[in-house]
Structure 1
Amino acid sequence: MANSFPFESIYSIQGVLLAPFVAVGLALFLLGFYILLFGLVVYFLCVRHTGAKRKLHLWWMTTLFVLSLSSALMDMGLEIHTSALGFQTATTQDLDPLLDWVTINLSNIVLNFLPCILYALASCIADMILPYRLFVLWDSVRPIIFIVAMLVLFLTNAVGFVGGVTYAVGCFPNQPLSVFIKGADIITGYFIANAINTFLLTFIIAGRIWWLSREPRRLMGREVDRRYNRIIAMVVESGLLYSASVVVHVSTRQSLSTLGFPLNLSGLVYLMVGIAPTLIILRTSLGLTESAIPDSRMISTLRFGEPPAATEAGQSSDLRTVGFQQGPLGGSDDLEAHKVERSEMSTP
């Protein structure tokens, strides 16, 4: 196989040790953080969360955790084993064991294929949260928004599945190299499309929350304004964390000539697809989002001052009721479902 990179660059001691040390080290760090995060979420959902959708949240978080953890562990195992063979190649100058593992070993093909499929499934679970938020936020155009978002996300994940299958087929020794390259290109495009979708949907949701919160912020001052800004920042942060990890991963995949050795950061993306939504649910369980809503006993009714002239003339005064309805989802969804209702009540 022709290669534009010299043997000493990729299969040097530095190349076969530094790349897995960075990739596996970062993945293990995120893995420990994710395990702690997931444990806290399960604890607070079971102990402190009283919302009607607790079981749905637990199912989402548990499924994401299992899929993300499985794909990341398989990817790290593949990275370590391949690096061990690369180290052997660098010390003995014998490419045969590494080539046998990469080209004709069924275990290598399975370990390349399964993490991609598990990641696509985890991405589907995480993506279900975004259309549901859009469904909660838009009353008048709910079906249109929900169908369009689901269609875009379904097509994106379908592309990822096709890319994973093509990549796995290209690993077989009887397949031409073009199939392998095409599969890798499809997976790269899937990563980019997934990052763009998450980024755009997150900012649409944050913008809608800002729009719906204008009235409460105007009526209740700076403190409520700061709290709503924290909620909006939290929603944006969740999308940026995942999108940034995808951008970094794709950049390292495309910059082999600059680095001088292959750096695989797939494990970070596999873990981040579960960490981002789990982080929001944890903050929700800690009451961070609920703190953005003042005590309903204090704001259930707001009676504006009545001019004396209007009272003497028997004119009706306005009683405006500001009610915050809790949405079906916890976390940022609680805020997203809050709506400001006004009722004009005439007093005799």
Structure 2
Amino acid sequence: MSVESVIAHEVEAGSTPHYSLLALTRPDFIMLNFIVLLYGSYTMLFSLYTYLQIQHHERKHYYQSAVVVLYILATAALVLTILSYDQENLLWFSRMVPSINPSSLEVNLLTYEYLQVAEAAIYVVANTIADALLLYRCYIVWGARKYIIIVPSLICIVNTVLALVALGAVVRALQSQTGNSEIDHAIKNFSPGNIGFPLPKSASIILLLFLAINLFTNIMLTGLIAGRIWWISKETRQSLGEVEDSKRRTSLNSVVKLILESGSLYPVALAFGLGLNATNTVNAVEPILTVIVGMAATLIMVMTDLDLSIHISTDQSHWQQILEPDGMESDRTALSSSYELQPNNQTRDVGSEEYRSPGWGIIQNKPRYSTRESNKVHKQQITRLRLEPQSDWLGANAGWG
């Protein structure tokens, strides 16, 4: 008779009276239900995103592909979590059935642990994709200045490599446990967060640091992006004045708000997961983080497309240039707050065909400033309010996470 059959028989016979109560109150069961709930919300969000993308045929596919891959990874993480929970149940309640030989649970224990490693590996891959998107957006918003993302990129790369090395060490340790005399002891002492195997302590520390470093880099990159756009708003206000710039400034502030709202989702989840992981409250936090990192990347796109929280009167395509990596390579322009200001006595007409731009509303296809003489020699006036044509372009969106 299989282990599953023995446990089912004992439950039906009333030998484990608290089985149902324990199953419903265990932290891992609560976490599983929360993951399923989040995944359902994520599925609806992803469906809406798919519908919105169908309405925008001109967009490039590389960001769309990344969002699809993140959803697939989240789905795989959910499936592995359910399978892992099933194996955990067998191990957990086998202790209540004296007739079960612990040696017969060796396969279940090892299967459970390999599933845990697979969940962590999926999360590392999903986080890498999200980091790449976030780094690219930061690179774009900062005018394609490579030095801005050098340090964050190195941190993300080293962090990811160390996490993969740690997972490899865990796999090797598990392989060495096959047929080990400590299996019986490990099964008898099985508990969430403690498998009983002498796995490398360094691996556990590295995986914990992986979450902490992710939290740091996400906060840093989100701050760099929001801070840059805030600075652009400040520079625009100083250049155009309060009246002329009121609408534009409101739009930029709305973008900052959007970035902070969407960007805070993943860091908050990381902080929560870091606490659970450090205290061994649940077996693994990686599945729920995999779902959330995908949600964050998709959420900002949906909010942008629906124009939620962005109350702007200018062409929405501009915001897609900032928030979405959608085929803007041909423009060869870069977002910059360093508008060209000249201390001269003339203001050029920026409404001609030469200075036409579909975004910002700063450059309209009509004369806004006419050539005129000025007696104030020291007054800096706007000569060209346009996106600087000096760097490898630009066009990014959120990886968020």
Q: Same fold (TM over 0.5)?
A: yes
Aligned to 2:102: 96
Equivalent of residue 67 in structure 1, options 73, 80, 90: 73
- Deviation of the 1:222 alpha carbon: 4.2
Equivalent of residue 170 in structure 1, options 173, 183, 208: 173
Structure 1 Cα separation of the partners of residues 61 and 266 of structure 2: 25
Distance change (3 Å), C-alpha of 1:122 and 1:319: closer
Aligned to 2:36: 28
Structure 1 Cα separation of the partners of residues 86 and 165 of structure 2: 26
Distance change (3 Å), C-alpha of 1:288 and 1:17: closer
Equivalent of residue 201 in structure 1, options 216, 221, 225: 221
Aligned to 2:142: 138
Aligned to 1:227: 251
Q: Is structure 2 residue 255 aligned with structure 1 residue 255?
A: no
When normalised by structure 2's length, the TM-score is 0.66
Q: How many residues align?
A: 309
- Percent identical: 21
- Deviation of the 1:34 alpha carbon: 1.0
Which runs of structure 2 are paired with 1:1-348 in the superposition (5 Å)?
14-18=21-25, 19-48=27-56, 50-51=58-59, 54-90=60-96, 96=102, 100-101=106-107, 103=109, 105=110, 107-139=111-143, 142-172=145-175, 173=177, 177-218=197-238, 219=240, 220-256=244-280, 262=282, 264-288=284-308, 291-292=311-312, 294=314, 299-300=362-363, 301-303=367-369, 320-323=383-386, 328-329=394-395, 331=397
Contact 2:251 2:310 in 1 (8 A): no
Contact 1:227 1:291 in 2 (8 A): yes
Contact 1:284 1:331 in 2 (8 A): no
Distance change (3 Å), C-alpha of 1:68 and 1:14: same
When normalised by structure 1's length, the TM-score is 0.74
- Deviation of the 1:38 alpha carbon: 1.3
Distance change (3 Å), C-alpha of 1:42 and 1:156: same
Structure 2 Cα separation of the partners of residues 289 and 217 of structure 1: 21
Structure 1: 4+ residue segments shifted above 6 A: 304-307
Residue identity in the other structure for 1:208: R
Structure 2 Cα separation of the partners of residues 206 and 28 of structure 1: 32
- SS of the aligned residue for 1:303 comes to coil
Name the structure where helix makes up a greater proportion of residues.
Answer: 1
- SS of the aligned residue for 1:302 comes to coil
Distance change (3 Å), C-alpha of 1:270 and 1:197: same
Contact 2:134 2:398 in 1 (8 A): no
- Deviation of the 1:55 alpha carbon: 0.9
- Deviation of the 1:90 alpha carbon: 3.9
Structure 1 Cα separation of the partners of residues 387 and 305 of structure 2: 19
Distance change (3 Å), C-alpha of 1:191 and 1:159: same
- SS of the aligned residue for 1:294 comes to coil
167-176 or 296-305, larger mean C-alpha shift: 296-305
Contact 2:123 2:287 in 1 (8 A): no
- SS of the aligned residue for 1:323 comes to coil
Structure 1 Cα separation of the partners of residues 169 and 217 of structure 2: 23
- Deviation of the 1:161 alpha carbon: 0.8
- Deviation of the 1:305 alpha carbon: 10
- Deviation of the 1:329 alpha carbon: 3.0
Structure 1 Cα separation of the partners of residues 381 and 256 of structure 2: 32
Contact 2:120 2:286 in 1 (8 A): no
Post-superposition CA distance 1:100-146 (Å, at most 9, x none): 2464x3x3343122222221111111111122123213348x23234
Distance change (3 Å), C-alpha of 1:254 and 1:13: farther
Contact 1:202 1:236 in 2 (8 A): yes
Residue identity in the other structure for 1:147: I
Contact 2:166 2:203 in 1 (8 A): yes
Distance change (3 Å), C-alpha of 1:310 and 1:146: closer
Distance change (3 Å), C-alpha of 1:332 and 1:249: closer
Unaligned runs of 5+ in 2: 1-17, 183-196, 316-356
Residue identity in the other structure for 2:31: A
Contact 2:133 2:397 in 1 (8 A): no
Contact 2:226 2:260 in 1 (8 A): yes
